[in-house]
Structure 1
Amino acid sequence: MLNTVNTIEQKLVEAYSIRINNLTKSIIIANQALKASLFINDKTLIGKSYSQLALYHMIVGEMQKAKQYSERAIEIFNELGDERGVADAKYGLAGVYYKTNQYHLGLIHFSDALKIYKKYNDYYNQSRAEKSLGTIFECIGDATSAFKVYKSAIRNAKKIKDLNLESNVYNNLSGILTKKGKIYFAKQIINKSIELKSQTDDMRGMAYALYGKGKVYHFCKEYTKAKELYNKSLDIHKKMGENTGVVMTMTKLAALYFETQQVDKALQFAQEGLLLGESLQFSMCTIKLNRIIYLIYKSLGDYEKALHYFENHLSEKERVINTQTLKVIESYELIARMEKIENEAILQREKQKILEKKNLDELENYKRKQEFLSIMSHEIRTPLNAIVASLVLLDDKIVNEGKKIIRNLKFASDNLISVVNDVLDFNRLDGQNVKLELVSTNINFLCQNTVEVFERFANAKNIELKYISTVNISNYYLIDPTKLTQILNNLINNAIKFTDKGSVQLEIKIVDCGEQKDLISFKITDTGEGISQENLPRIFDSFSQLKPYLTRKHGGTGLGLAIVKRLIELHKSTITVESKLYKGTSFYFELELEKSEEIIIKVNDKQQLIGKKVLIVDDTKMNGMLLSKLLRKWSMEIQYVDGGKKAIEIVKYQKFDFILMDIHMPEMNGFEVSKEIKMTPNLNIQTPIFALTADILADADQNFKKYFSGIIFKPFDIDKLYNLLVTYGD
Structure 2
Amino acid sequence: MGAVRISSDLMEVLAARRSQARFRIGVAVAMLAGFGTTVGWAFAFGWFAVYMGLQFVEHLLLRRGDLSTVASLALLSTNAIVFGAYGAMGPVMDGAWGLACAIALMCGGLLNTALTSQKSLQAFVASAWPFAFFLAAMPFAAIAIGAEVRHAVALAISAVLIVACTAMIWRAAARALIAEGEARARAEAADAAKSAFVAMVSHELRTPISAILAGAVEAGRPEAAGARASNLDLIGSSARMMRTLLDDLLDLSKIEAGKMGVEVTPFDLRRLMLETVRFWAPEARRRDLRFRVEGARQVPAWVEGDPTRVRQVLNNLFSNALKFTDAGSVTLKFTSGPDGQATLSVIDTGPGMDADQLDRLFTPYGQASDSVARTHGGTGLGLNISRELSRLMGGDLAVESAPGQGSAFHLQVRLPAAAPPSVVVDATQDREGLRLLIVDDHEINRRAFTLMLQGACDELAVAQDGIEALEQLATQPFDLVLMDLNMPRMGGMEAVRRLRAEPGPNQATPVIALTASVAPKEVAACMAAGMSGFVMKPVEAKELFAAIEQALTEAPAPVALTA
Coarse TM-score class (shorter-chain normalised)? 0.5 to 0.7
Residues 1:710 and 2:536 are matched in the alignment: no
Query: Given the alignment, which residue of 480, 492, 496 partners 2:318?
Result: 492
Residues 1:597 and 2:423 are matched in the alignment: no
CA distance in 2, matches of 1:630, 1:696: 22
Residues 1:449 and 2:275 are matched in the alignment: yes
CA distance in 1, matches of 2:384, 2:550: 35
Residues 1:475 and 2:475 are matched in the alignment: no
Q: 1:459 to 1:413 in 2, by over 3 A?
A: farther
Could you tell which deviates more after superposition, 604-613 or 487-496? Answer: 604-613
**Runs of 5+ in structure 1 lacking a partner?**
1-372
Q: Summarize deviations over 1:631-683 as a string: whole Å, max 9, x none.
A: 13224432222222121011112222211011222211222212221222222
CA distance in 2, matches of 1:601, 1:717: 27
Question: Contact between 2:259 and 2:519, CA under 8 Å: does it hold in 1?
Answer: no
SS of 1:553 mapped into structure 2 = helix
The corresponding residue for 2:464 is 642
Q: 1:492 Cα deviation (Å)?
A: 0.9
* AA at the equivalent of 1:536: L
* AA at the equivalent of 1:587: F
Residues 1:410 and 2:232 are matched in the alignment: no
Question: Contact between 1:544 and 1:558, CA under 8 Å: does it hold in 2?
Answer: yes
Q: 1:510 Cα deviation (Å)?
A: 2.0
Q: 1:524 to 1:700 in 2, by over 3 A?
A: same
CA distance in 2, matches of 1:581, 1:411: 34
Q: 1:456 Cα deviation (Å)?
A: 3.5
Q: 1:611 to 1:473 in 2, by over 3 A?
A: farther
Q: 1:520 to 1:697 in 2, by over 3 A?
A: closer
CA distance in 2, matches of 1:583, 1:407: 38
Q: 1:458 to 1:550 in 2, by over 3 A?
A: closer
Q: 1:623 to 1:511 in 2, by over 3 A?
A: same
Alignment of 1:221-370 (within 5 A): none
Question: Contact between 2:481 and 2:511, CA under 8 Å: does it hold in 1?
Answer: yes
Q: 1:696 Cα deviation (Å)?
A: 5.9
Could you tell which deviates more after superposition, 397-406 or 590-599? Answer: 397-406
Question: Contact between 2:358 and 2:368, CA under 8 Å: does it hold in 1?
Answer: no
* AA at the equivalent of 1:505: T
Q: 1:491 Cα deviation (Å)?
A: 0.9
Residues 1:719 and 2:545 are matched in the alignment: no
Question: Contact between 2:302 and 2:419, CA under 8 Å: does it hold in 1?
Answer: yes
Q: Summarize deviations over 1:397-426 as a string: whole Å, max 9, x none.
A: 997643333333322222221111111101
Residues 1:656 and 2:478 are matched in the alignment: yes
Q: 1:551 Cα deviation (Å)?
A: 7.4
Q: 1:657 to 1:539 in 2, by over 3 A?
A: same
* AA at the equivalent of 1:468: E
Q: 1:550 to 1:487 in 2, by over 3 A?
A: closer
Residues 1:434 and 2:260 are matched in the alignment: yes
CA distance in 2, matches of 1:724, 1:491: 30
The corresponding residue for 1:461 is 287
Q: Summarize deviations over 1:63-114 as a string: whole Å, max 9, x none.
A: xxxxxxxxxxxxxxxxxxxxxxxxxxxxxxxxxxxxxxxxxxxxxxxxxxxx
Q: 1:501 Cα deviation (Å)?
A: 2.2
Q: 1:463 Cα deviation (Å)?
A: 2.7
CA distance in 2, matches of 1:459, 1:436: 33
CA distance in 1, matches of 2:247, 2:289: 27
SS of 1:466 mapped into structure 2 = strand
* AA at the equivalent of 1:677: L
CA distance in 2, matches of 1:582, 1:400: 47
Question: Contact between 2:438 and 2:461, CA under 8 Å: does it hold in 1?
Answer: yes
Aligned residues: 344
SS of 1:478 mapped into structure 2 = strand
Q: 1:549 Cα deviation (Å)?
A: 5.4
Q: 1:562 Cα deviation (Å)?
A: 0.8
CA distance in 1, matches of 2:345, 2:373: 30
CA distance in 1, matches of 2:307, 2:411: 16
**TM-score normalized by structure 1?**
0.43
Q: 1:561 Cα deviation (Å)?
A: 0.8
Query: Given the alignment, which residue of 483, 497, 509 partners 1:675?
Result: 497
CA distance in 2, matches of 1:457, 1:526: 14
Q: 1:647 to 1:566 in 2, by over 3 A?
A: same
Q: 1:469 Cα deviation (Å)?
A: 4.0
Q: 1:695 to 1:428 in 2, by over 3 A?
A: closer
Question: Contact between 1:448 and 1:467, CA under 8 Å: does it hold in 2?
Answer: no
**TM-score normalized by structure 2?**
0.55
CA distance in 2, matches of 1:550, 1:577: 18
* AA at the equivalent of 1:686: A
* AA at the equivalent of 2:361: I
Q: 1:465 to 1:682 in 2, by over 3 A?
A: farther
Question: Contact between 1:660 and 1:690, CA under 8 Å: does it hold in 2?
Answer: yes
Question: Contact between 2:332 and 2:345, CA under 8 Å: does it hold in 1?
Answer: yes
CA distance in 2, matches of 1:471, 1:655: 55
The corresponding residue for 2:361 is 539
Question: Contact between 2:349 and 2:407, CA under 8 Å: does it hold in 1?
Answer: yes
CA distance in 2, matches of 1:611, 1:532: 63
* AA at the equivalent of 1:638: L
Question: Contact between 2:533 and 2:551, CA under 8 Å: does it hold in 1?
Answer: no
Q: 1:698 Cα deviation (Å)?
A: 9.4
Residues 1:574 and 2:396 are matched in the alignment: yes
- What is the CA RMSD across the aligned residues, in angstroms? 3.4
Question: Contact between 1:470 and 1:510, CA under 8 Å: does it hold in 2?
Answer: no
Q: 1:611 to 1:466 in 2, by over 3 A?
A: farther
Q: 1:570 to 1:694 in 2, by over 3 A?
A: closer
Q: 1:528 Cα deviation (Å)?
A: 1.5
The corresponding residue for 2:332 is 506
* AA at the equivalent of 2:358: L
CA distance in 1, matches of 2:521, 2:316: 24
Question: Contact between 1:444 and 1:469, CA under 8 Å: does it hold in 2?
Answer: no
Residues 1:618 and 2:440 are matched in the alignment: yes
CA distance in 2, matches of 1:728, 1:551: 42
* AA at the equivalent of 2:237: F
Q: 1:467 Cα deviation (Å)?
A: 3.3
CA distance in 2, matches of 1:442, 1:543: 34
CA distance in 2, matches of 1:605, 1:696: 28
Q: 1:623 to 1:658 in 2, by over 3 A?
A: same
Question: Contact between 1:604 and 1:726, CA under 8 Å: does it hold in 2?
Answer: no
Q: 1:633 to 1:505 in 2, by over 3 A?
A: farther
* AA at the equivalent of 1:591: V
The corresponding residue for 1:246 is none
The corresponding residue for 2:514 is 692
**Runs of 5+ in structure 2 lacking a partner?**
1-197, 554-563
Q: 1:598 to 1:550 in 2, by over 3 A?
A: closer
Query: Given the alignment, which residue of 377, 381, 387 partners 1:565?
Result: 387
Question: Contact between 2:373 and 2:380, CA under 8 Å: does it hold in 1?
Answer: no
Q: 1:598 to 1:614 in 2, by over 3 A?
A: same
Question: Contact between 1:479 and 1:593, CA under 8 Å: does it hold in 2?
Answer: yes
The corresponding residue for 2:97 is none
* AA at the equivalent of 2:418: S
Q: 1:570 to 1:412 in 2, by over 3 A?
A: same
The corresponding residue for 2:350 is 528
Q: Summarize deviations over 1:108-142 as a string: whole Å, max 9, x none.
A: xxxxxxxxxxxxxxxxxxxxxxxxxxxxxxxxxxx
